Each structure stands twice: as structure tokens, then as C-alpha cells.
A and B are shown apart, each in its own frame.
Chain A
């Protein structure tokens, strides 16, 4: 080690020690609630997204209508016209022109490549997870809060997760979801958060760590806060979905 490098280490190390540390419980809960991507999104909205990545290639455009826990995904590609995914009452359904009835999907269903509905518009974390530990770290962009989360329900697809938040902006930077075995499954990074209006990351990248790190990128082309008719989520009656503008 050179003398200059040794001096640099001696000077930087105490600064790093000061910058890192355990986040008090109350402060951690408050920060997680205020930086939860699932809570930040408006309760009801319509959004148009572009999804790109392996093996989906693309980009593929989808339209998302969300109201509370219910979500409708409309596929906008010419080849996919007439196809919808409905998330309603804890279940997901595929509605396809070639099938007379909606087909129930697993909750791990992926829209394109490695993208799941939950990963695009995260489920409110405070509802699904508890804080196991929280600590402060820092990087070139400033202070970060690193949350280690544990799922409240054993049925949750990813029983543990790491959620990293930019402390000053109170916006998530990344999330890492793990399987029951502890193996890392999905890595998500949030970029370009809006500064006015509804809070959302304009660009989200997802890496499927179980499939050689296959990456997908979701770009939010537009998002409007608006009332979403409940009839859009009606599995029996397709009238409201059929009346959606092209």
C-alpha cells in the first residue's frame, strides 16, 4: 500500500464510520412508510409503460389501470390486442381473445421476461414486510437507509428483501428480493423519480438473478391520477374493457 493511499484510508475511515450506523426503530418505520414505492404511487391511476429486455426484446407497450389493490393491464402491441391481465381480490387472471373464460394465473406470473406486476407497482412494503434491521450507509449520492425486511406472511413469494432508500429525498434507490433459501432472485433499481405531481420512478430496471441476470427495463411513458371504474376488473363482464379507447 502506498503512503498516499494509507493516509487517504486513515482520513476517510472515520468519516465512513460516522456516516454509517443503526437507524432507530421509530425513525426507520417512518422513513420506510414515506419512501415505500407501493405507497408513493397514487391510489388510482392510469399509466402507459414500455417494457424492454430479455427474453421479451421489445419494447412492448402496456397500459395499467390501478385502483387500490386491483389492477388491469392492457397489452397494446398489435399482436397482443384484446389481451388483459386482471389482478383483483388477491388473484391474477389472464383474459385472452382465444379463451372464452379468464384463466387464473400464479402470483409469480411475469408480464414480459422477468417483470411481475408487483415489481412494477410494488405492493406497499409496510403491509407485506416487517423491518428486521435498518442501518445508515452512504455513497457518492449521499446518505442511504438500508432496510432488511422479513415477510409478514410465509406465503409471500419472496420471504426477505433488502430495500435501500435515499434518505434525503425519501425515495427508494433499489430493492433486492430473496427466495426462502436466501438465494437472491430479483434486483430492482429505481431511476429518475418525479419531483412534482404523482410520485413515481420514470424508469425501473429489473434483473432476474435466477436467469443469468436477464435484465428488463420498464419506462413509465405517462401516468395520470384518475378514478378507475370498478367494472374494468369485472371478470364476467367485458363491456367496460371493450369500451376502453384504442
Chain B
């Protein structure tokens, strides 16, 4: 009954109600857009990191205290230690649910030279034949990707990061020499032909990264070992479950294993997430304050305009708590109608923006511009509705307080 009267009250004061609905609706729509942008940024960045070679998680030996001295390492100079019985571990991991494929990698470092110029590099060696299975994407800028077959001896190939290629003035087809420290601590040199120039999406990494086939790195480092296994799942949502499901693999291994998910391996993601979360919280507070103040003002004005009416209702026996509930219902109606209208507008804007394909400048440290894309899921709407309802309830506190303090005689004489 009170809810129905509250709705009729709102309908009676159309202009004021429209203004309130506009404020609530705009607040809801703007929150939807911000959430959509932040969500898409998180998901997009995460998937780009995973597809770029990080995978969903990595299995590697636990780094002991002595390993920074190269003890048990594949390469000298503090390289990561080697992963023993990696093929058995891979077989065990690939039989798990949701595991798409696992690929062996070697991380190494050294100096690459073309005779005239030299530059330090960070090497990542992968099984190129498994990359399609793992759904890994390589963003080749010039030349071509590494072949999906292991290179023959004397025909080793590499991809150079954009910045590294620039530093060496190297182009696809050029031959460069890798100078690396082997596990025995001696130096080795290996000629590789540059197949292509690629980007990781991150400028700092592009200045150092060099990618080769696993076999090329093993030849350069005089080893048949690998440093880790990178595992790709069929869905990122299963990462935590898949990592915790590896306890028996850890126990069966002859060496202590460390399993690190993609978030731990890409700290940049955490930094971006923290930055965007901070922005989102700040915007949320601003929107909440605007909506709360505007709505409180509107509701208070409606009380002040209707003071004689409220006095009359009190005089004929309506209780103060009934009047307070009436105002509360009016606030709830405003919240409900405003959220519905705002969400409709927000969803329409999301669809339009996604269709336009607007390009945004690259985020800090990134290379490529990003397409403005928004992602909204049903729970977002529920959270916005709950948030707006809370804000409107808080906004109704001041008018309700006024109702409890009004004197009937003064209210009846109010002009």
C-alpha cells in the first residue's frame, strides 16, 4: 500500500522525479561503463599475457640458495636451475582436465652480436611445434615466425624483439651470433639466422627479448635440459583449481617443484590491476557522492514542498514511522527505476562503443594502441543496483529525520 502511494507521489511530481531519475540513471550508466572498461582491460591484458608465452602456469624447480651461483643451472651466470624428468611431468600434467598442452622452455641470457654491434639479450627458447597446440600467439612485425619444426644443426633460427633488432640494426635474413655461458661456466658462440622481428607488447621487454627453438638454446648452452614447463589451459577461470590439482605431481617429482601462475609470473598485470582498481574506486566514490547529494537534495526538497501535506497526514492519525517509510519507498522506487533506465542506457552505450572500434593510446610501457572495448556481465548490474539502492537509502535519511522532527501545528501553518 505504502509502496503504491510512494509511486503515485513520484508520478505526481513528474519534473522533480525525472530530475532524480536522470541523476540516478546517469550514475548507474557511468558506473556500468567504467566497470565494463576495467573488466575488459583486466581480461584483455591477462589473456594477452597468457597467449604471449607466459601460459596459465609454469612448473619449475624451486630456486635454492645456491642456485644464484649457477649450481645445477642450465646456463652460467645465475640462470635458473634445470628441470629434471620434465617429460614425465609433462605427461602427468597433460592428462589433467582443462589442460590444453604443456611446452618445455629454457630461459637464458647472453650477448648477441652481428660483428659491429653487440647487445645483451634475455632468451626464451620454446618448442615451436607445440605453440599452436598451446594457442600461443607471436606478434611478428617483420619477417616470419619460427618454423614449427626443430631446426637442423647449423641452421638455427631466432626472432628478435623490436628494440633488440633496432639496437643491432638487424633485419630478417641476417645472421647474428649468440654468446652465452654454458652450464660448465665456459662461453659458447652460436650463429642464428634472424627469421623475424616481433613484439611482446611491452617496450622494455622488446629491447631485450630473443626467442629461439628449444633445440637451438640447448645447442648453445651445451645441454639437453630445460628450465621449466609452461602449461596452457582451455580457460583461465580454471587456473587456481589446476594449480592446486598438481600436488601429486609435486610429490612424485625427484626435485622440489615450484608452480607459479601467470599473475605471479607477470607482476606487471598486478600493477596495472592495482592502478585501474584505484581509479575505479575513486570514480565510484565521486559518482556515489554526486548521486547521494543530488538525491538527498531532491528528496529533502520534496519533503519541504509537501510539509503542509505531511502535517495534514500526521493530524489525521498517520504515524511518523509510516511517513518515514513512505519516503523510504519513494527513494527505493527512484533507485529501482533509475537503475533500470541507467542500465538500459549503459548497455546501449556499451554495444555502440564496442561497434565503433575506437583506438586508445598504448598504456604505460606498452607498445601497441589498444581498442576501446567494454565487457559487462549480469552480476555487474546486480552490484550497481545494490549500490544505488544503498546510496538512495542513505540519501533518504535526512528527509526521514525531518519528518520525525516536524511539528503538526507548524506544518499545518507552513506557507
Q: Which residues of B contact A (CB under 8 A)?
A: 69-71, 73, 76, 113, 115, 154, 156, 175, 177, 179, 182, 184-191, 219-220, 222
Given that A98-B219, A98-B220, A212-B69 are contacting pairs, would A83 and B185 also be in contact in the complex, using a CB cutoff of 8 Å? Answer: no
Question: Across the interface, which residues of B come within 8 angstroms of A100, CB to CB?
Answer: 175, 191
- Contacting B177 at CB < 8 Å: which of A101, A113, A211? A101
Contact call B69/A103, Cβ cutoff below 8 A: no
Is A48 an interface residue when CB atoms closer than 8 A count as contact? no
Select from chain B the residue with minimum beta-carbon distance to A77: B184
Residue pair B71, A55 in contact (C-beta under 8 Å) = yes
What chain B residues lie within 8 Å of A241 (beta carbons)? none
Residues of the B chain whose Cβ atoms lie less than 8 Å from the Cβ of A214: 69
Task: Tell whether A193 is near chain B: CB-to-CB under 8 Å.
Answer: no
Contact A55 B189 (CB under 8 A): no
Closest to A103 in B: B189
Let me know if B69 and A211 touch, CB within 8 A: yes
Q: What is the size, in residues, of chain A's interface with B at 8 Å between Cβ atoms?
A: 29
**Does chain B have a CB within 8 A of A191?**
no
Please measure, in the bound complex, the distance between the C-alpha atom of A60 and the C-alpha atom of B113, giving whole angstroms: 27
Contact status B191-A99, CB under 8 Å:
yes
Contacting pair B184 A99 (CB below 8 A): no
Q: Are B190 and A98 in contact (CB-based, < 8 A)?
A: yes
Given the known inter-chain contacts A98-B220, A101-B177, A103-B177, please indicate yes or no for A55 contacting B70, CB distance below 8 A: yes
Q: List 5 A-B contacts (CB under 8 A).
A: A54-B70, A79-B184, A96-B187, A98-B189, A110-B185
Starting from the known contacts A56-B76, A79-B222, A94-B187, 4 additional A-B residue pairs (CB-CB under 8 Å) come to: A55-B73, A56-B186, A98-B188, A109-B187
- Tell whether A105 is near chain B: CB-to-CB under 8 Å: yes
- The answer to whether B69 and A55 have CB atoms under 8 Å apart is yes
In the complex, the answer to whether B184 meets A58 with C-beta atoms within 8 Å is: yes
How far, in Å, is A73 (CB) from chain B's closest CB? 10
Residue A47 CB within 8 A of the other chain? no
Q: Is the CB of A99 within 8 A of B189?
A: yes
Q: Which of A54, A80, A96, A104 has a CB less than 8 Å from the CB of B69?
A: A54
Residue A127 lies at the interface, judged by CB distance under 8 Å to chain B: no
In contact, B188 and A57 (Cβ under 8 angstroms): no
A112 in contact (CB, < 8 A): yes
Set of chain A residues within 8 Å of B179, measured between Cβ atoms: 94, 103
A228: CB under 8 A from chain B? no
Return chain A residues, CB-CB under 8 Å to B187: 85, 94, 96, 105, 109
Closest CB in chain A relative to B55 CB, distance in Å: 29
CA distance A211 to B70 in the complex (A): 11
Is A75 positioned at the interface, with any CB of B under 8 Å from its CB? yes
**Which residues of chain B have C-beta atoms less than 8 A from A55's C-beta?**
69-71, 73, 76, 185
